[in-house]
Amino acid sequence: MKGSLLYEGKAKRVYHTDDPEQLILSYKDDATAFNGKKKESFPGKGRLNNLITSKVFQSLHQQHIKTHFIQALNETEQLVYKTDIVPLEVVVRNKAAGSITRRLGITEQTLFQPPILELFYKNDELNDPLINDVHAYHLTGIREQDLLFIKEQALLINEHLSHIFQKAGLELIDFKLEFGFLPDGRLVLSDEISPDTCRLWDLETGTKMDKDVFREEIGSLTDTYERILQRLEESVCAK
Ligand code: 5GP
């Protein structure tokens, strides 16, 4: 049963449940970009991200990736295990787009082989700065072996996600992951995987099909996310 509100973020609300080890994530219709400076509400977005994330996490479970996800409860809510989130944004990049093009002057679409993994400190006041491993140990208290595990998992998840999206006719350009500790100390993938947290380009046309349509005002966010969900559903059914 849904209990009291534990936390409200930019894209989700988090509720207690009867079970102290489980939480309900409720996906909101709000879209934010540029650290909350650009904000708009899109009816139906919460449903789409809930259903897309649920589908992606289920696919990752089939590949034996451990996550906080338990099940979708309804159109906009999902049940997850409570984790102690590590305040790191782990970004994996297969091709150049977004902040790396501005930060390092790399042309958009440049292929990264091997993929580039970057760590950002999850802190709105500081604008989520790029950090190195030693910063991460210092700022988050994480141990060396935990960070090594996070990096290995992120690269493995990149392989699985690239495959999942490729089957849906989408190229995975980059994405952001978050990890958290379960009460027994195990580190698992947490948060969400959706077009809010991934860059996805149409495999044939290169059209942007993710939150960049909102950031760059180049299309309808809900139409785009609806197409992602449809394609994922069709590709899973076609398997
Ligand atoms: P960039 O560093 O280029 O802004 O983002 C790289 C990737 O991580 C993109 O797919 C972007 O959507 C995702 N990402 C980075 N930071 C955040 C964040 O704070 N929130 C969300 N939802 N996604 C992020």
Which atom number of ligand 1 is nearest to the Cα of residue 118? 2
The pLDDT, as a whole number, for residue 239 is 55
Whether residue 1 is predicted with pLDDT greater than 90 in this model: the reply is no
Residue percentage of the chain with pLDDT more than 90 = 97
Q: Among positive and negative, which fits the CA dihedral 147, 121, 81, 29?
A: negative
Mean pLDDT of 95-122: 98
pLDDT for 132 beyond 90: yes
Please state, rounded to an integer, the average pLDDT across all residues of the chain: 97
Span 153-174, average pLDDT: 98
What percent of the chain stands above pLDDT 70? 99
Residue 210 has pLDDT above 90, yes or no: yes
Residue 96 DSSP symbol: -
Distance 176 CA to ligand 1 centre (A): 6
pLDDT band of residue 238 (cuts 50, 70, 90) is low
Tens of pLDDT, residues 26-66: 999 999 999 889 999 999 999 999 999 999 999 999 999 99
- Best residue among 52, 91, 121 to mutate for probing ligand 1's pocket (most ligand atoms within 8 Å of CB) is 91
pLDDT at 237 over 70: no
Q: Is 198 in the pocket of ligand 1 (CB under 6 A)?
A: yes
pLDDT at 174 over 60: yes
Residues 144 and 205 sit within 8 Å (Cβ to Cβ): no
| Number of Cβ atoms within 10 Å of the Cβ of 44 | 15
pLDDT tens digits, 9-19: 999 999 999 99
CA 93 to chain centre: 13
Instruction: Provide the 3-class DSSP secondary structure of residue 157.
Output: helix
Residue 87 token pair: 């305040």
- Nearest-angstrom CA–CA distance, 188 and 177: 11
The CB of 211 under 6 Å from ligand 1? The reply is yes
The structure's pTM equals 0.97
Residue 210 alpha carbon, nearest atom of ligand 1: 12
CA of 18 to the centre of ligand 1 (A): 33
Q: For residue 175, give the nearest of 200, 150, 203 by alpha carbon.
A: 200
- Which atom of ligand 1 lies closest to the CA of 176? 8
| Ligand 1 touching residue 194 (CB < 6 A) | no
pLDDT of residue 35: 87
With cut-offs at 50, 70 and 90, classify the pLDDT of residue 104.
very high
- Contact (Cβ atoms closer than 8 angstroms) between residue 97 and residue 109: yes
Closest C-alpha residue for ligand 1 atom 7: 175
| Strand-strand pairing, 170-181 and 88-95 | antiparallel
Peptide linkage before 114 cis (omega within 30 of 0): yes
Q: Atom 21 (ligand 1): residue with closest C-alpha?
A: 197
